Structure 1
Amino acid sequence: MAQPDILVRNVTAVTVDPDRRVLDRAWLAITGDRISAIGTERDPEPAGAKQVIDATGMVAMPGLIDNHSHAGHGLVRNAGAGVDTWFQACEEIYARGSTPAFWRAEARMVQLERLRGGVTTAMTLLGGGADIYRTDDPASGDAHCEATIEAGLRTFLAVGPGRPPFPRRYRTLGGDGAWHDTEVSFERQLEVSETLIDRWNDVLGRGTGICLVMPVYYARHVAEAEDRRQVMAMGEAVMDMRRRKDVLFTQDGHRDGSVALARDLGVLGKFALLGHSVDLTEDDFTALKETGASIIHNPSAIMSVYARCPVPELIEAGINVCLGSDAAAPDRGYDMFRHMAQCMHYHRRHFRDPAYLPPGKTLEMATIDAAKALGLEHEIGSLEVGKKADVVLVDMRKPHLYPPVMPVTRIAHFANAADVDTVIVNGRVLMRGRKADHLDANAILDDAAEQAALAFERTGLTHLLDEPQEFWRLARQPLPAS
């Protein structure tokens, strides 16, 4: 056996491979950016590894994959006293209060959070919330991708047009130091998206993937013939670019017939990942089976409070379902262990049956099923020889993770982001003993605080950072005055 660069030894390996093997007292060899060998105590370890990691008391698992989140949300976390005011804050800040420095600071902070939680691959929309995507100029996307490379993780950045009517108004800080309002057309947003694809789409190499996004449409949006014509023209333009550039496509907020409508508009296929997808109809199920599109379940999201994504039913129908955090705001983060636990309890409560979504299946949704949704199941999502060396070591010698039996159950039910000890991505050790020496955490956090404060000041929304007295004593927060 060739001399490996890294040898992880004395570990319990939860491989999520085709046989779903869990190997006690195992070792993993990494050469370059790939897993070069996996064995147990019965197999001779390769000699001469340049770096040896003794993982006694730890579980090795594939890097977690978060297939739905929003860039920008990290710096508007908690803002507003209610969901409506929070959405308004997103729209104002993303379109009129943000700069490339804002997007860079937010991405650096989020990537640090992901790294510490064992999330090695993610998909994130460049804005969203109110369908505001910062594609008026490449600078915001450039800043996000630069931060991704600095962190060493993998991120698909979803870019594309916002919701009509066009043109949309964006505010930018010019070279003269003054703020300028710009009218941005649908064509301009597509042009910027194509530029970002050409610059950054190399997720297995540099870690910066680019995919396309467009708003979700419901029947009411296309009730009139002219409205349907305009929406179909938008879809055709986005799909033309998707085919030419061979990129993925995602949407945020499907529900109640919109999946079937997306099929009819011609925007679905195995390349598509559909977020939320609640209250699905029989026709929605048929559309998913016909097209091979994947569903992204976000069990901790507000949309999962309003309605339910029928995850067990989708899985039993043969439809691929993966997990997303929908992070980082207004009330959740990037801890995929937390979202796995939420997923299990959410659907068990619905059916009043604790047998639904067993731990192994739920872990699959955050690893191999998520990789399949990205079209990368042959590269990431499991610990297998020849795959990319994306490995997370979870420290299991903790009271909440004992006794030391049934590692899959302990990971899915009881572990959290703070239990992640070591993260390896692309064969590079990014964190060891919870220390990421290539990142200056204090500087990242200070920069994030500064850029968030500036964004709220620019938009006159600093009052949304005050916690109201109505958060105390009451069983339900009162509705805002009309």
Structure 2
Amino acid sequence: MADLRIDNAVVVTMDGTRQVIDNGSIAITADRIVAVGPTAEIAAAHPAGEVIDAKGMAAMPGLIDVHAHAGHGLIKTLAGGDSNAWFDACRVVYTLASDPGFWHAEAALAGLERLKGGVTTGVSLLGGGDSVMRTDTRDGGDAHLDAVKDLGIRVQMAIGPTRPPFPWTYGTWKDGVRTDYEVTFEQQIATCETLIRDRHNTEGGRLNIAMLSPTLRKEHLGNASAEDKATMVEQAKKASAVAREHGLIFTQDGHRQGTVQFAFDELGILGPEALLSHSTDFTDEEIKICADTGTKIAHNPSAIASVMGRCRAPEMIDAGIVVGLGSDGTAPDRSGDMFRHMQQCMHYHRRHFQDGSAMPPGKVMEMATIDAAKALGMEKEIGSLEPGKKADVILINLAAPHLYPPNMPLYRIACFANGADVDTTICDGKVLMKGRKVLTVDETRVLDEAAAETELMFDRTGYRDLLKTPDTFFGHTHY
């Protein structure tokens, strides 16, 4: 007797043979898939307490976003194209103008967007800008994880130290008054250790911790004294050592040409647990280093980093590197919709090669499912619909004008679908959304709290001027 059975779907398994079952069923007991196959067979063998008739829908593994930023959901529109002002806003908000209420509201908002778009697993760095992390205390991390716990999806919350030099000034708020204090590298590492101890691999494995350290690039090292450079190197090694000690993913944001060579030669932080984001303009030698060390790549084709440089994802994949797909979060001009990023990925590389056959639709589907699971070291648990794996399943409503005529479902999903086409989201065997209605949280409350915390952030920063539409918004070809 199964707890839940999905019938009459086009089942896109993403298993080892990439099997597609035209009229298929998925049987689920507790948090695991127990059977996948033709509806006639599965329905007879697995009576269920609840049955979802998915006629006219496609069933897929829950999508996976391998790189995003917590905090960005509440500052996504600021500065209207002025990247310097936006980066400065990140620094101020994440260190001085945010409290646990901010981090909870943002995680609930970003997580709700993921849930409604069929993203059941995501990496979220607890901060951003130029690696400004909210790890002065554990309060922000706890707030983020509590919000995700309530939603019911999975997260790899990446935490670690802010970019050196230290100390950094952080602030806490009480009764509208801010109290500032200095934070050291050692304090941030200690915060990470407590979060790992208390929150990693909890809620049945839905809540997880990853470690990070800032990527060291030429602009950070070029003018540094020998002593400061040695300190930066030592701190990166220490953060990586924490990840290895606890068996965590170790991620870094913003790799580009030269940084992998430095990480390999000077840091020794590459390996199967390492996940490098953006990864633009790598040399052939750096691609070989990643392949030889088993280092994984998070490709964010919609990000500004992919405008300023090119992630050589097809070349990396051909070299044997695991490349997963990421959103880079929702700020300043993106979304959590992984269908959007699949489509962007195809066009991004086709333009480069001037070849419409580059990056086939099936490859980008793999990058958002099974390859993404491999990038997180979770391919034995998620990323495909197979017996024994976690029951992370989404149903995509194919009965829509932009998804018709009713043929070639794989192409319809990869090329034409969007997050709003997701009808049902299931994570860990629990139905989180059905018929587009979220069952785990009150959507209106999530939106209201996000709006309230954003207004509070503006009160604390005076950044309302960054909401002004630039004079060059209309009538110009450049901001």
1:131-190 CA deviation, whole Å, 9 max, x = no partner?
A: 11000000000000000100000011110001111000101114x763111100000000
Query: Do the aligned partners of 1:250 and 1:273 also contact (CA within 8 Å) in 2?
Result: yes
- Between the two proteins, the alignment pairs up a number of residues equal to 474
1:317-336 matches, within 5 Å, as 317-336=319-338
- Shift of residue 284, structure 1, vs aligned partner: 1.1
Is structure 2 residue 195 aligned with structure 1 residue 193?
A: no
* Structure-to-structure mapping, 1:421-460, within 5 angstroms: 421-460=423-462
Cα distance in 2 between the residues matched to 1:432 and 1:8:
12
Contact 1:107 1:148 in 2 (8 A): yes
Q: Which residue of 1 aligns with 2:145?
A: 145
Deviation at 1:236, TM superposition (A): 2.3
Q: How do residues 168-317 of structure 1 correspond to structure 2 at under 5 angstroms? A: 168-174=168-174, 178-202=177-201, 205-223=204-222, 224-264=225-265, 265-317=267-319
Return structure 1 stretches of 4+ with deviation > 6 angstroms.
Answer: none
Amino acid at match of 1:424: I
CA distance 1:83–1:219, shift in 2 (3 Å): closer
CA contact (8 A) 2:152 2:440 kept: no
Describe the superposition over 1:202-256 as per-residue Cα deviations: whole angstroms up to 9, x where unpaired: 1671511101111001245445533332122112211221122111110000001
Q: Does 2:122 align with 1:122?
A: yes
- One-letter code aligned to 2:328: D
Q: Are 2:91 and 1:91 equivalent residues in the alignment?
A: yes
Q: In structure 2, do the counterparts of structure 1 residues 170 and 360 end up closer, same or farther at CA, with 3 Å as the change threshold? A: same
Distance 1:19 1:428 in 2: 27
AA aligned opposite 1:260: Q
Contact 1:155 1:203 in 2 (8 A): no
CA deviation after TM superposition for structure 1 residue 285, in Å: 1.1
Report the 3-state secondary structure (helix = DSSP H, G, I; strand = E; otherwise coil) of the residue aligned with 1:126. strand
Q: Secondary structure in 2 aligned to 1:94?
A: helix
Q: Which moved more, 1:293-302 or 1:176-185?
A: 176-185
Larger CA deviation: 322-331 vs 39-48: 39-48
2:20 corresponding residue in structure 1 = 22
| Structure 2 residue aligned with 1:133 | 133
Q: Distance in 1 between matches of 2:262 and 2:470?
A: 41
SS at match of 2:472: helix
Q: Equivalent residue for 2:472?
A: 470
The CA distance in 2 between the partners of 1:340 and 1:383, in whole Å, is 19
Map of 1:42-121 to 2, 5 A cutoff? 43-45=41-43, 46-81=45-80, 82-121=82-121
Residue 43 of structure 1 aligns to a residue whose secondary structure is: helix
Question: Is the contact between residue 154 and residue 203 of structure 1 (CA under 8 Å) also seen in structure 2?
Answer: no
CA distance in 2, matches of 1:41, 1:393: 15
How far is 1:42 from its partner? 5.2
Query: In the alignment, is the contact (CA less than 8 A) between 2:7 and 2:39 conserved in 1?
Result: no
Q: CA deviation at 1:110?
A: 0.8
Give, in angstroms, the shift of residue 443 of structure 1.
0.8
Q: Which moved more, 1:142-151 or 1:78-87?
A: 78-87
Task: Return the letter of the residue paired with 2:255.
Answer: H
Q: State the secondary structure of the residue aligned to 1:163.
A: coil
Q: Give the residue type in structure 2 aligned to 1:134.
A: R
**Distance across 2 between alignment mates of 1:311 and 1:401:** 28
**Counterpart in 2 of 1:480?**
none
Q: 2:355, 2:161 → 1: CA distance?
A: 42
TM-score (normalised: structure 1)? 0.96
* Amino acid corresponding to residue 155 of structure 1 in structure 2: V
Amino acid corresponding to residue 284 of structure 1 in structure 2: E
Distance 1:203 1:350 in 2: 43
3-state DSSP class of the match of 1:104?
A: helix
Deviations 1:59-108 (A, max 9, x none): 00000000100000000011013111111111111111101000000001
Contact residue 93 and residue 456 of structure 1 kept, 8 A:
no
CA RMSD of aligned residues (A): 1.3
* Residues 360-383 of structure 1, C-alpha deviations (whole Å, 9 max, x = no match): 111000000000011110100000
> Contact (CA 8 Å) 1:149, 1:206: kept in 2 or not?
no
1:97-135 CA distances to partner (integer Å, 9 max, x unpaired)? 101000000001111110100000000100011211000
Greater Cα shift, 417-426 or 282-291:
282-291
* Distance in 2, Cα, partners of 1:196 & 1:83: 32
Unmatched tracts of structure 2, length 5 or more: none
Q: Distance in 2 between matches of 1:251 and 1:356?
A: 28
Distance 1:286 1:227 in 2: 30
- Partner of 1:267, secondary structure, is coil
> The residue matched to 2:193 in structure 1 has which SS?
helix
Q: Secondary structure at the match of 1:217?
A: coil
Counting only pairs closer than 5 Å after superposition, residues 314-463 of structure 1 correspond to structure 2 as: 314-463=316-465
What one-letter code is carried by the residue in structure 2 that aligns with 1:32? A
TM-score (norm 2): 0.97
Change (3 A) 1:226 1:31: same
Cα distance in 2, alignment partners of residues 26 and 16 from structure 1:
14
